[in-house]
Amino acid sequence: MDLSTLDFSALLQLRTDVDAEIRRRESEEKAKAAKQVMELIRTHGLDLQELATKSVKAVATATRKPVDAKYRHPDDASLSWTGRGRKPLWVVTWLDAGRSLDELLIK
């Protein structure tokens, strides 16, 4: 299909039709997947409630523990940074002043 041959209104209609077909197929795929899951549950004698509980527990135990600070401001102990992610403003200011990040290392 050569889209360049379609006029604007035809393109808009095509987009509407494509979006509707995508929603329809997504619904079909979800229903098919749910049916397969239920068949597996029945085949293996699993309890859906038990699976859901185990899944929630697995997510809860997968949470990360906080990372210890690696850098601390020498004049203000309340300013610390783990060294991960974006540098805090106080670190950027420190570095812009020509100071070294090594000076902030917690020993």
Asked whether 83 and 71 are in contact (CB, 8 A), the reply is: yes
Q: Where are the domains of the chain?
A: 3-61, 71-104
Whether 60 has a pLDDT exceeding 70, the answer reads no
Cα–Cα distances in Å, from 3 out to 9, 10, 12, 18, 30? 12, 9, 11, 13, 30
Confidence (pLDDT) at 87 = 95
Query: Of 49-53, 74-78, 80-84, where does mean pLDDT reach its minimum?
Result: 49-53
- Hey, is 41 helix, strand or coil? helix
Overall average pLDDT of the 46-56 stretch? 78
- The model scores a pTM over 0.75: no
- Hey, is 14 helix, strand or coil? helix
pLDDT (tens digit per residue) in 10-44: 999 999 999 999 999 999 999 999 999 999 988 98
The C-alpha atoms of residue 25 and residue 58 are separated, in whole angstroms, by 31
Whether 56 has a pLDDT exceeding 70, the answer reads no
